[in-house]
Amino acid sequence: MSLARALKASPTLFRVGFAGAVAYRAELLVWMLSTTTPFVMLALFSAVAAEQPIGNYDQRQLGLYFIATFIVRQLTGSWAAWEINFEVRQGTLSVRLLRPVHPIIGYAIENLAAIPLRLIIVIPVVVGAIAYFGAGWLPSSAVKWAAFAAAALGGWLITYLINVAIGSLSLYIESSVKVLDVYLVLFFVFSGYTIPVDLFPGWLATLGEWLPFRYQIALPVQILTSAHDTEAVARELVRQWAFVVGLLVTTSVLWQRAIRRYGAFGG
Q: Which is more confident, 217 or 264?
A: 217
Instruction: State which residues form the domain around 73.
Output: 3-264
- State the total domains in the chain: 1
How far, in Å, CA of 248 to CA of 164, rounded? 10
pLDDT in tens, 3-61: 565 555 566 655 655 555 554 455 555 555 567 788 888 888 888 888 888 988 999 99
CA angle, 207 as apex, 49 and 36 as ends, to 5°?
45
Handedness of CA 126, 40, 144, 154 (dihedral sign): negative
Provide the whole-model pTM: 0.87
pLDDT in tens, 205-235: 889 889 999 999 999 999 999 888 889 999 9
Q: Which is more confident, 226 or 163?
A: 163
pLDDT in tens, 228-258: 888 999 999 999 999 999 999 999 999 999 9
Residue 114's Cβ-side half-sphere holds a number of Cα atoms within 13 Å equal to: 24
pLDDT in tens, 75-98: 998 889 988 998 988 888 888 888
Q: Output the pLDDT for position 1.
A: 47
Residue among 66, 69, 228 at smallest CA distance from 143 = 228
